[in-house]
Structure formats: C-alpha cells, structure tokens
Amino acid sequence: MRTSLCDRLGIELPIVGFTPSEHVAAAISRAGGLGVLGCVRFNDAAELDSVLSWMDENTGGKPYGVDIVMPAKIPAEGTQVDLAKLIPDAHRSFVDKVLRDLAVPPLPDDTDERAGVLGWLHSVARSHVDVALKHRISLIANALGSPPEDVIERAHAAGVPVAALAGKGEHAARHVARGVDLVVAQGYEAGGHTGEIASMVLVPEIVDAVGAQVPVLAAGGIGSGRQVAAALALGASGVWMGSFWLATDEYRRTMPGSGAMQTALVNATSADTVRTRIYTGKPARLLKTRWTDAWAAPDAPEPLPMPLQNLLVSHAHNRIHAAADPAVVSMPVGQIVGRMDRVRPVAEVMAELVSGYEAALDRLDKTR
C-alpha cells in the first residue's frame, strides 16, 4: 500500500489519522501512517506546546501533523466573557431543562471544569499555528477549508505543507488556488463538520477538479482495508480517518473518562448518527443519543452560530462526560461507527487496514 502521498509526507502508508488524542496520533505515526493531532481542544497555547513536545519525543522520529480550525477570512470576535453575554437566556434555560430531564447530575464541587472550547476562535487557532511551527510538524490541516493567506505563507516558509477539507469540487479548486498543498475530500458520511455529498460521489469529483495539481485524500466512511482500496480506486492518493480512532486503547490514555463514550460507540450501528448544528453551531455528524433527541424535539430552540453554541453547551458536555451514561453522550462520529465493534490498539487497526487492503486487491485481481 504505497502512493505518491507516502513520498510527499515521508510516511510508509497513505493513511492519515485525525484525532484529539496525542497518544493515538503518535501510535498512528509509529505504525507508518501520519498522526494528525486536533488542536481545537487546547484553550491554552502553553498546554499545546507541552503536548507537541511530547509528540516530538514519542513518535519514534516519524512525521506527524496538526489540525486547526480557522476560517479563511478573519472574523470579528470578543473575549469568552463578551461572547457569553450574547447567549440568550432561553437557550440556557433549555439546556438546564434537558439536563434535568436526562437526570444528568451536577459536577462534583472539586471538579476542575474546562471552559468552553475557545479553539473555535480565530485568535486561539492562530496561537495554535504559532506553537505548532516551533515543533517538527509535517502537516498543518484546516478543518474549515483554506486558512488565511499569511498562515499558508508561514507554513510554506517553514517547509510545512497545508491541507484543507472540502465538501464540494468548487471548494477544492478554491483551496488550491489559495495555495493549499493537499485536499481532503470529506463526504457526508464523515463525523464532525461535514457537507452534503457522499464520498462515493465526492472523491472522484474532487480528484477530477484538482487531482492533477495536488494529492487528494478521501475521508468519510473509511474503516477497513477494502474501503481504503475503494478510495484509491476512486483516484485518491490516500485516506483521512477520524472516527475510527475513538475506539482505541490509546484514546483512553489521553481521555481516561471516555469509557461510556466508547461503550456507546461499539454498541451503535451505522444508522445511529445525526447531522446537526447543536455541537458547534455548524453542521456536524454526532452519535444519536437522548441528548441529540432532545435538541430535535419541537420545543428545542435553533442552535446558535459558532462559537456561541459550543460555549452554550460546554458545561453540559462536562456534566454529560462526568455522568458516564452511554445513552446520553455527546460525541462527533461518522457512519463508520457501525464497524467499530470493539476497543483495540491502534497498531491492530493499522495492521487490519493493510491486510484488508491486500485481500481486496487479491479479490479484484480475480475479476480480470
């Protein structure tokens, strides 16, 4: 399993794994892929700096990357306190009511509660770039498309390629015109922020649009070697996987309280997700639970725009996480969740991707 992407990024396998867990990202890189650490969870640039120093020392000298959340246009924004004032009281009351109805207990008094995720703010994402470029990263990816022009220029000056996610062919063309080096074609099936075109249609559309200029990675609905083979058959140079790493042993090393979430994931089917704006304010695919059901009820308010929605629900997410009830968890995940039937090591997942890919090619050879 080798493509031009491997030479471009200095990796052994054309598998890029996005994850908020540094332990997962490092394990993906050590296994021959490219682990990409999601930075949005880091409100404090110093914390990110410490984690990337850990990555530098625990990837066995292998390449790794980071993922930021930054719109191409610099938005106006306030402080967390300023933004909190913009959240309507009716929305706060609704969240409180849902938590009562779902019997989610208050946090213990001694809880060191994390504030709302400020990584959605442009200024915080920019600090992530500042920190990341001080480390030996091999890729900067942006979940919201092309980053600002000066960020692309700074990355290129440091010899770091830039990747951007795209949900339409026209988006991909615009990214390349702005200087992006790799395009991630993320289909409707994917977890988190995602568009409305399915991967089987989107990947060849984006390959036809920009594949002659830059490598295209396929994302959405990939969790087996035969799905990797399908992505390459559609013209992709590699795959971008995110959801599948949630059900790994290494994820729990970073997030030790994620047992209930992993239980919910391994018991879910591919039909148990929903695309909604309740997580961040932008359309994102989440695991379908009693929490998402409550937001779909007739009396639920419309979600707020980014970043207000995340600030609104951040305390609720902390309480839900602490409650450890698999029926209530709030977690972005793709439709590939139906294949996530157990928790296992990253190295085992990577090995199965390779063996499954080889088996798929053997099967296809017999059709000649």
Kindly report, residue by residue over 258-317, the tens digit of the pLDDT. 999 999 999 999 999 999 999 989 999 999 999 999 999 999 999 999 888 988 999 999
pLDDT over 60 (residue 119) = no
pTM of this structure: 0.93
Contact of 104 with 328, CB cutoff 8 Å = yes
Contact of 128 with 68, CB cutoff 8 Å = yes
pLDDT at 123: 82
| Partners of 248 in the β-ladder | 344
Written as six digits, the tokens of 237 are 């140079």
C-alpha 284/C-alpha 196 separation (Å) is: 11
C-alpha 16/C-alpha 352 separation (Å) is: 15
pLDDT over 70 (residue 69) = yes
pLDDT at 80: 54
Average pLDDT, the chain: 94
Residues near 116 by Cβ (< 8 Å), separated by ≥ 6?
Answer: 80, 307, 310, 311, 314, 315
DSSP single-letter state for residue 60: T
Give one word for 145, left, alpha or beta, with left for phi > 0 and alpha for psi -120 to 50.
left
Q: How confident is the model at residue 79 (pLDDT cuts 50, 70, 90)?
A: low
Residues near 80 by Cβ (< 8 Å), separated by ≥ 6?
Answer: 115, 116, 118, 311
Give the residue-averaged pLDDT of 73-95: 77
Give the residue-averaged pLDDT of 69-96: 78
pLDDT over 80 (residue 110) = no
pLDDT, tens digit (0-9, with 9 covering 90-100), for 174-213: 999 999 999 999 999 999 999 999 999 999 999 999 999 9
**Residue 254, amino acid:** T
